[in-house]
Structures are given as structure tokens and as C-alpha cells.
Structure 1
């Protein structure tokens, strides 16, 4: 592949595209404004301890094995992982104890039965089977397939004989109501409704199709030595070994064009990086709002503010804990889930939030003794509460940050977990996420998956500007670490096809000229 490629942003999607294109012979340069690779998959230093700063749940290992194999490498040689026995531990209050879900399906069925009764166990088994059916229908044509603007091309690829299976995806049914068909216990409806938040959506507005996320997690959750930032570093190493160049601490301010297509990028330093292909590994909103120049602004549609996904309040804490025995992944639920999402829809942080806690120093084994820090020692926690994506219009005052911290600790305390006070931590609000990822308002998942058509409205790899492509968790197929990698695979595959098509077509003269530097500058994604 004789092409010069500039990748804006060193997130999971951009690094995947860079490695795959470099392996095909392209001259690839990755340009990242921050001093680290990984985008959201970073590390944060608190009280001398490094804490996972972004995603913590790793699933769909197959995707990364395929990426490394395509580059002539073995995933296991670069990333150390072990399978979690306990997928997650769930709490509602101090009195009712907790519910574990397991990698072993029958163990989960038994656990649900002990927690909520025999009917609940049968309901869980039926739910798991339905989630598996939905995943099986969508895995190849949607997750691994090309981007389509409507369901029709995907249905054509699947064949009309599979119409019953397509309807079984339940795109027109609401997720919350569909869960009510399986679970009469509101706690279980709440537990499995939470999977909608994995792609930044409300379980009250998401389609039942998103139940497939539960199956993806049930297939295996893996713990990575060094966290998901270690995965990003491994992808960067993979790309450089294929010949790509990864530069950090350099911000792109404009996508340059010549003769109606991309010709390179301009850095904040004034340096020009010539490129035939430019890949934006960031939220498409950064393009649509003109942060990379006028030509790129016209390349993608803007995401309307009401269509944004959830943001989050994230505490990175180094603290002592007491009470509830933590696993690696833990969820502490609010007493009124509907009120929580009404608060967010109204632009407020939840008065009583559901709280996710990643206990980084703890294992996820059921039978082995828990990997508990030494008596009196502090442990590393990442704590997440869903929040509105209002970081571009709302300033989070010290008083509001303190109020949110108190609300988070109140939920934990009600469920039996106590953190030492004062809490040694750093807090990221939607305003802070907007600072890292401009033009998003702090939305961490791109467009929300609300309604049957939302998944088809996500930005695909191709844009209106020839030579400019998109990748990352805000693009097709969905949000999340494996989905960002799938988007990187799709972008690389699409670029390879387009370049092959250009070589076999006649050259044509296109109107246009070299753009000038835009007065609007911004950060890379």
C-alpha cells in the first residue's frame, strides 16, 4: 500500500488502524495531543499511586487476537490477561447482601435463584438465551460488517430467509419493558438495564437490542495486567513495529486539502504533515464544530446536543475501605433508578446515584481468597457515576463537586461500603471531560443509542471529504474498547478498498486548492 496516512489521536481505534495500515505497507504517522497513548485509556496519579483513568472492563478478546495476528504477532505475547470468575458484584443495600454474576452460566443461574427465587433463576436463563440470540444475529453483519445508514443493507446481506431472526433482535421494543418480561424483581430489571449505560444510554430509552451487551460480557471478562492502558501501549508498540511513527504531545489544528481531498494536517507548532489519508480518532463533533478547519467541518454532520450519550463523574481514589467485601468490578444501585435517569435527562447530576467501583488491586475469583490490601493499607479505586453531557455549558463549582462526592459516598454507605474521610482523590466532571475531548460536552460514548435507528446514525469510517476517515468509540459500530478496535479494523479495511479503487480509476481534475490555516484551533481526539 503506497500511501501516506496521518492519524489524529492515539486512542484504541486510531492505534488499531495505524497498526493494520502500516502492516499493509502504508507510511503511517499517529499524532496525539496528550503525552500518553490510549485516549480515555490512560493512567492517573493520585497520592503516588497510578490508577486506571478510563475503561476498566475488557471483553471480546477475539477482536484483539485478530488484530495482532493480522500484524504477524501473538496477542498473548504482548498483553497479560486472566479470565475473571466473577463478572461483577452487585449491591442494593447493606441488609440484602450482594449478587455475583459469573463466567460460568450455571453458577450465575444458581446465584440469581438464591438471591431472588426460582422464578428469577428461570427468568435469568431465558434472558441470557435471548441476549445470546440477538448477539448471534448481529455479530457478523453489524459488529464486523460495513457501516450502513439504514438497516436495509444489513438485512440484504443477512438474507430475507433470516427475517424472523431480525425481528427477534427487537429493535422496536424498549429495553426496560423487555426486561420486565423476564424479571419481576425490580432489582434484577435494574441490574440488566444497566447494560444500556455501557454505550452511554438510558435503559428507559434504549432498544431491547442492547440486551446483547449482557451476552458479550457473559462470554468472558478479562483482567489485564497494567489495566487497559497497557493494552493501548501494546497496540502502539505493535504499530511501531509495523513501521508506524507515534508522536505524542503534538496537537493537530487543521485538516489540509488540495484539489478537493485531504493533503495532510497542520500542527499547532506550524509543522505540516503531508498525507494522502487522514484518520480522525476522536468524537466526530470535533470535526463538525470546525476544530480541525472549515473543510473538515463540512465532512460530517454535527451530533445534536439532545442526542449526546451520557457523561460521567469519575473519582480516582487512593483510600482505605471498610465493610462490603469488594470484587474487581462492583455496582452499588440507587433505590430509584427512574428518578436517577430523570435527573440526568433534566441536566442534573443524580441526587441518589448508582455507583460503579473498580477495585483495581482486587482479583475477581470466587473460590480463592479475595486479594485484599494489607490491613490498614490504602487501595486504588476508580468510581463512576453517570451524569449529563453538559460540560460545555455548565461549570462545576467546588460546592457542586463536594455535593456530588457526598451523594456518591451516601450510596456506598447505604450498601455497606465505607471510604475513609477525607477521601484522597481526583474528580473528573463533564466539564473536565470536555477539556480533554473538546466539542463533546463530556459525552463519553458519542451518540446515545436511543430508538431503533440510533445505531445506524453513528458516524461511519467514510466522510464527505475524500481522504478523511473516522474511527473510535464514537463511531460505528458502538462505544467501548472492543468496539473502538472494530471501528479501527473497519476504517483500515475501507481505506484499503478505496485506495485500490483509486488505482484502477481514471485520474480526474477536481476543483479546489490548498486550504489556509483556520482561525479555529482545537485538540486532537
Structure 2
């Protein structure tokens, strides 16, 4: 068997209608990648998605001449996509133009000062020394610890399925030694004394839906991941990456059926037999892959299945990520002193996160992430214009915010803050605008509780404790995406797709079984 290094899959098989069928629920990055890899493995693949084009959370809105990435904007492990393309018989650079962002981003403190975050060690130490010279040594020790965590938790475990307790226990001693029982903030505080620097080096879990004060310290690995491999952007937006993966699916004979919602996963005993669409159409399948939230998969798509582990009660007790308020807007002028990625820290850090994750109240203050892709990509807006989105972490729908009432008021507060800090006269130059709230995540993306990143990455919601990539409830149901192992973020969902493709049975074996069954009949 000719195997592609990195993903461990055979090179693409010939297209044929008699191949075993894989039904994939959801055309997000995880579902698309799983579909592409299963096609390369020899399956006939059909992907179903309620939206009108690929991407899921990585969708793109196009209006008034602007292109707005709906969700993820930061690519931190481009080699994973290179391996994905190679496994499917292609070359990433032929379909998608991924370029580094230098610096990664700028962080603005409430007093108007900035911290420039990059991979340049000397520049980073100079930035730290401006705030607290004594913490330069702490930066060095933190990056050393981040590297150690990365080399084990990411390189060795991110693409390995945590299905068995023995395997989990075999990794447990080293995971404990690496301090997984501590939070990201706890580890960062061990190395940095200055509160501002503690915020700078601990906010990363928010990019994948975690509270830095409760997220397992394994996610300290992000600092080394960024430093080693950089922060990248796909020209045309992240949805260009989704479109590229979609093309891998169709090149190998797969089909993507947009504006089709899966209503039910059909079962017989412990076997998934296909899916039923909201239209009433049933589609038989040899395996089913769900890129939907695990809570949606189990509580809605398998609502009538008696479940051993993921009962409705247990799913309801899990801790889900925060929600997001996102304002997409275009301006008829450029703000060329604003970079591609800017974080605007609010007056509170721990208190705000407590309000979002624990108290679930919509606070008066906020912290923001401002994305300006037109800083590097003129294709996302008309000449002389800027395209933006600004994101504010907010409580998910377990909170009591009435978004139908407060959304515009909240947008106006954010606009006023941006006008006062980074974008002077903003209100005079807005020519395109739209908003997204946790209601949109629930209703449009079918996200449980309107959570933007599915389950939080806490210690006891990681690895073996997350819903498994090979379902515990059905023998031929597989899960990929943010809610399963290894978790949210583009690297995580691609790794989950790789795990699914490797766990799925060899289609030649299924074909032989089918042939034997037909012969006996």
C-alpha cells in the first residue's frame, strides 16, 4: 500500500459508484477534511450542510463589495494543511495562498500603550522589558515550558484517539508531570510577575473557547506553536481554505449537498445505517461522520437512541464555551496604522472572564479582537476601503442576555470604543454592516447553547473525557470537529479529521463483506 507520510492514508483511489458510502454531517473545516481523507481512503463521500456554501464556522459573508470571514482568522499550523492536500493527491499552494503575518498581532492596553507580539525573541524580550524588566527571565522559562508541553501534548497526542482507558493511563504520568491539572493562567503566573504580562501570555485559550483561569495548562503549548511555525492568513480569507478542502472532496468523487439539513441518524442496533434529511429523504451509508456539536449529534440527531455515556443529562452538565458577539463592517476609507490583528484589552481581566464564563452576565465592559484583513489582502474590499470584524467574548445562551433587544445597543458601544481608540471618525465612514450573536450560532450553525467553540477545554473535558472520535454509542459513527478530541481551532479540527479517517474501516473490507452477503443471498 502506497502511504502518504503525515496522514498515514493510501493515495487517492479511483472514483466509482460501488465504493462504500460515508455520509458526513456538516461542511465545516473538520467535516470537509474528514470527507476529503475518506475519499482518498476509498470511500464514496456525501457531505450534507444546511448552509449554501462550505465553511461552517469558517463561512464567508459577501455584501456591498466586501468579503467578511465569519469565524476563524488565524492559521497556526500550515503544515497540517500541506499534509492534508498531499494525502488527497494535491498540493496546497496550487489551491490556497497562505502567507505569514508579521508581527502576529498587537495588544492594546486600556491606557493606550501597545505590546507587539511576534516570533522574534529579541523583539519580544524588548517589549517585555518595557513593562517589567524582571519578567524577561520569566519569558524565557515560560517558552521553555511551552515547548516541552508542545512536544508531547501536541506532537505526540493531538492526532491520537483517546478511546481506551489503558491508553489514557499510559500517558497520565507524563501529563501530570507536565502540570495538566493546573490552569493556563496558573502556569503563566509562575513565570511572570506583572499582571499585564500575565494577561498577554494567558489569553490564547480564548481563541479556542476556553477560560484561561480554568483551561488546562496543556494549552500553554500555543505560545511555542506560534513562535515555531508562525501565524498565517489565507489570501481571500479563511473561507478560501474551506473552499480548497471542498475541492479535494469533489476531485475524488465526493459530493457536497448544500442547504440540506440532517434531521436524524438512522440506526439498527449498534449500527448507523444512514441519515434522514429534514426533507424526509433517507440516504443509506456504511459509516456516518458527524461534524456537528456532540451535544447536537447525541441529543437531536440520535434523540431516540438509548445512550450509555452521552445521555441528555450528562450533556447538559458539561461546561460549554463562551458565546461571541461579532460585528462585521466595511469603511470607505483605510486606517493603515491599524494592523491585521489587534487585541484591545478592557479594564478588567479576571473579573470580566468570571462574568462571561461563571456568572453568565453581559458586562458593561468588554475586551475586543479586531480583524483587519485588508491590511494585507486588497481582495476583501473595494479599492480604498477596509474590511473588518470585531469580536467580543460574551456569555453563551445559558446567560440571560436578550440579544434580539440588546444587540444594536451593544454594537453601538463597541463602535464608540473603536472610534475613541483606533478608528477615528469611524461612524462617518461605515458603508457596510452586519452582526452575529449567540442566537446566530445556535440557529444558523446549530451550536449547542450558542457556544462558539463547543465544549470548554478544561482538564476533565479533554482527551479521554471528551466525546470520542469513534462514538461510544454506535460502532460505525465517528465524530470530528471542535467538540471532540483534540478540540477547537483549525489545527484541532484537522487533527480530529485525521483521526476519523484512520479509525474508519478499510473500505475494501466493507466491500468484501457486502459481496459475501450478496453471494449468500
Could you say which TM-score interval applies, normalised by the shorter chain? 0.7 to 0.9
- The 1:439/1:363 distance shift into structure 2, 3 A limit, reads closer
Q: Map Cα deviations across residues 348-406 of structure 1 (whole Å, 9 max, x no partner).
A: 12321110011010139xxxxx999999x4411111111111179753133x1133224
Query: Out of 148, 153, 157, which is 2:167 matched to?
Result: 153
CA distance in 2, matches of 1:122, 1:419: 42
The reply to whether residue 429 of structure 1 matches residue 433 of structure 2 is no
Decide whether the 8 Å contact of 1:348 with 1:388 is kept in 2. Answer: yes
Moved more, 166-175 or 319-328: 319-328
Structure 2: segments with no counterpart, 5+ residues: 1-12, 14-18
- The alpha-carbon deviation at position 62 of structure 1 amounts to 1.4
5 Å-filtered alignment, 1:227-246, equals 227-246=237-256
Moved more, 472-481 or 455-464: 455-464
Match of 1:249 in 2: 259
Decide whether the 8 Å contact of 2:275 with 2:285 is kept in 1. Answer: yes
The reply to whether residue 177 of structure 1 matches residue 190 of structure 2 is no
5 Å-filtered alignment, 1:486-525, equals 486-496=495-505
- The alpha-carbon deviation at position 137 of structure 1 amounts to 1.4
CA distance in 2, matches of 1:99, 1:454: 31
Match of 2:453 in 1: 445
Query: Out of 59, 80, 85, which is 1:63 matched to?
Result: 80
Q: Map Cα deviations across residues 168-188 of structure 1 (whole Å, 9 max, x no partner).
A: 421122222221122122111
CA distance in 1, matches of 2:142, 2:380: 33
CA distance in 2, matches of 1:70, 1:314: 35
Report the TM-score, using the length of structure 1 for normalisation: 0.86
Give the match's secondary structure for 1:432.
helix
Decide whether the 8 Å contact of 2:80 with 2:491 is kept in 1. Answer: yes
Query: Out of 318, 331, 334, which is 2:346 matched to?
Result: 334
CA RMSD of aligned residues (A): 3.1
Report the TM-score, using the length of structure 2 for normalisation: 0.86
- The 1:149/1:118 distance shift into structure 2, 3 A limit, reads farther
Query: Out of 322, 325, 329, which is 1:310 matched to?
Result: 322
- The alpha-carbon deviation at position 446 of structure 1 amounts to 1.4
- The alpha-carbon deviation at position 311 of structure 1 amounts to 1.2
Structure 1: segments with no counterpart, 5+ residues: 365-369, 509-525
CA distance in 2, matches of 1:379, 1:335: 28
Query: Out of 206, 210, 222, which is 1:197 matched to?
Result: 206
The reply to whether residue 132 of structure 1 matches residue 139 of structure 2 is no
Q: Map Cα deviations across residues 476-518 of structure 1 (whole Å, 9 max, x no partner).
A: 101011211111111111113698599799x99xxxxxxxxxx
- The alpha-carbon deviation at position 201 of structure 1 amounts to 1.3
CA distance in 2, matches of 1:419, 1:176: 37
CA distance in 2, matches of 1:29, 1:413: 46
Q: Map Cα deviations across residues 14-51 of structure 1 (whole Å, 9 max, x no partner).
A: 11111111112211111111101111111113433121
Decide whether the 8 Å contact of 1:287 with 1:297 is kept in 2. Answer: no
Give the match's secondary structure for 1:397.
helix
5 Å-filtered alignment, 1:15-414, equals 15-96=32-113, 98-113=114-129, 115-148=130-163, 153-154=167-168, 156=170, 163=173, 166-218=175-227, 219-295=229-305, 300-302=310-312, 303-304=315-316, 307-319=319-331, 325-344=337-356, 345-363=358-376, 377-390=384-397, 395-398=402-405, 400-413=406-419
- The alpha-carbon deviation at position 256 of structure 1 amounts to 1.4
Decide whether the 8 Å contact of 1:321 with 1:418 is kept in 2. Answer: no
- The 1:352/1:392 distance shift into structure 2, 3 A limit, reads closer
Give the match's secondary structure for 1:263.
strand
Q: Map Cα deviations across residues 112-149 of structure 1 (whole Å, 9 max, x no partner).
A: 22x31432322222211211111011123320212246
- The 1:290/1:166 distance shift into structure 2, 3 A limit, reads closer
Decide whether the 8 Å contact of 2:299 with 2:311 is kept in 1. Answer: no
- The alpha-carbon deviation at position 253 of structure 1 amounts to 1.2
- The 1:289/1:243 distance shift into structure 2, 3 A limit, reads same
CA distance in 2, matches of 1:285, 1:349: 24
CA distance in 1, matches of 2:307, 2:300: 5
